Amino acid sequence: MNTKCLYIILLVLGISLKLSAQEQLITPSEAVSMALDNNYGIKVASNSVKIAENNADILNSGYLPTLDGRAGANYNVNNREVEFASGPPQTFNGVESSSYNASVNLNYTIFDGLGRSYNYRQLKEQYELSEIEARETIENTIIQLFSVYYNVAQLTENTDAIQQTLDISKDRLIRANYQFEYGQSTKLAVLNAEVDINNDSISLINAKQQLKNFKRDLNFVTGNVLPEDFNVKTEITFILGLDKQSLYEKTLANNVSLLQMEKNIIIGEYDIKFGKSAYLPTVGLSGNYGWNKNNNGPGSFAVGSVSTGFSAGLNLSWNLFDGGTTITRVKNAKINLENQKLLKEQLVIDITRNFNNAWDDYQNKLDIYRIQEDNIITAQNNFDRTKEKFGIGQVNSIEFRQAQLNLLNAELSRNQAKYTAKLAELQMLQISGELLNISFD
């Protein structure tokens, strides 16, 4: 094997090892999918929806009849003294008697003042309310997820920027040592370069530790399913062309807090109707099929008997006056409904304020991000020109360091502005009820 072939094999092997060592990229949509499947808060909310669904089932409505079986046995030992119409009385000691019974009983409420009808509808509304509450949990979890996700993305870019700054400081130290060896500068330039390297190294260590911590936070939010080594997407796409009036109309129609309040109002209306149903009578149907056997012993008119048969009945009950409990319950239900309507009016005002604040905050953060983008260009040009002058000795190390720090601070500020603007966009979409209707990539 010649040297050229060996070189090619080693090159391919090196590329393969490098690719295998790369961290897995977790996109925003993948992170959302993981959270929806594995986040514990979302799992609990999903189980609550299942409970509400079970409660709203026909099996919990009261519309179905009840059927039960009963059986029993009795055994007695008695002393008897029996007087006959003619003849002396007779005494029987230790008379044994027994009885056995078994029955199947059916009960069905034909009419209960429409109480179960209103209760069943109320359970249906509570089921839909639980779905809205689960949606609120999902939205809050997604906001929490992206708050951490963008922290990871920001720290990733910050770490890269600090690493570049450290690399520049190391090159500067090499140059300062050369200049000192050839008598072109003093030892002070070398010491300054070493101090800057130490400061940059400390900043890099802190940034890497923060990055590890935020990655652990992201793994927690997604349900602890992320790989040990992963990275996140740092490219951000903003939703352009949003119309404020259109979003506000969607807020009034789809905001999750408003939807919950509207469901509570409907439930309150059914609560009043359910309470009023106690004013009406209840009509029920009952049926029974039973078997009875008696062993009476000596001294009884009949030694034993067996009976089987079916019985049915129709019953009516009407609570004409219950001491005012029903009246009080209906009055309180009406007051609770009025409170719900007042809370909705207050909520509309509060959400309108929050929407306007979120819209302005988003627009301001977008403007700041655009300014920071322009500032990066200025800081980069300033650093490049300072670097050229530093290379020919027209700028000292302090001025060079200042230009270097200006560029670094501009990059860090740009990164922060980018991700805070995107998070403000998501929070605004959450208020308007559109968070779950967008693409996250």
Residue pLDDT tens, the chain, 441 long = 444 443 433 344 444 444 344 679 999 999 999 999 999 999 999 999 999 999 999 999 889 999 999 999 998 877 777 666 666 777 777 777 788 999 999 999 999 999 999 999 999 999 999 999 999 999 999 999 999 999 999 999 999 999 999 999 999 998 888 878 887 777 888 898 999 999 999 999 999 999 999 999 999 999 999 998 999 999 999 998 899 999 999 999 999 999 999 999 999 999 999 999 999 999 999 999 999 888 876 656 666 788 898 999 999 999 999 999 999 999 999 999 999 999 999 999 999 999 999 999 999 999 999 999 999 999 999 999 999 998 888 888 889 999 999 999 999 999 999 999 999 999 999 999 999 999 988
Token duo for residue 69: 């079986």
Token duo for residue 370: 């655009």
Does residue 276 form part of some domain?
Answer: yes
DSSP letters for 347-402: HHHHHHHHHHHHHHHHHHHHHHHHHHHHHHHHHHHHHHHHHHHHHTTSS-HHHHHH
Q: Which residues pair with 282 in a beta bridge?
A: 317
- Give the span between the Cα atoms of 55 and 47, in whole angstroms: 12
Q: Are residues 81 and 94 in the same domain?
A: yes
DSSP letters for 260-297: HHHHHHHHHHHHHHHHHGGGS-EEEEEEEEEEEEEE--
Q: Are residues 138 and 204 in the same domain?
A: yes
Neighbours of 34 (CB within 10 A): 20
- Give the span between the Cα atoms of 373 and 421, in whole angstroms: 13
pLDDT for position 397: 87
Residue 146: which CATH number? Answer: 1.20.1600.10
pLDDT for position 11: 43
Token duo for residue 74: 């009795």
Q: Are residues 147 and 273 in the same domain?
A: yes
Q: Which residues pair with 287 in a beta bridge?
A: 106, 312
Please tell me the pTM assigned to this model: 0.87
pLDDT for position 182: 80
pLDDT for position 188: 87
Q: Are residues 107 and 118 in the same domain?
A: no
pLDDT for position 87: 67
pLDDT for position 301: 60
Q: Are residues 406 and 343 in the same domain?
A: yes
To 10 degrees, the CA torsion angle through 380, 385, 388, 393? -130
pLDDT for position 371: 97
Q: Are residues 107 and 117 in the same domain?
A: no
Contacts of 104 (CB under 8 A, 6+ apart): 67, 68, 69, 70, 288, 289, 290
Q: Are residues 402 and 356 in the same domain?
A: yes
Q: Which residues pair with 78 in a beta bridge?
A: 95
Phi-psi region of 211 (alpha: psi -120 to 50; beta: other; left: phi over 0): alpha
pLDDT for position 18: 43
Neighbours of 33 (CB within 10 A): 13
- Give the span between the Cα atoms of 56 and 122, in whole angstroms: 8
- Give the span between the Cα atoms of 291 and 305, in whole angstroms: 11
Q: Which of 149, 349, 175, 333 is nearest to 233 (CA)?
A: 149
Q: Are residues 90 and 177 in the same domain?
A: no
Number of domains in the chain: 2
User: Among the three residues 317, 340, 375, which one is the final residue of a domain in this structure?
Assistant: 317
Token duo for residue 55: 């409660």
Range of the domain at 153: 24-64+113-281+324-437
Does residue 6 form part of some domain?
Answer: no
pLDDT for position 165: 95
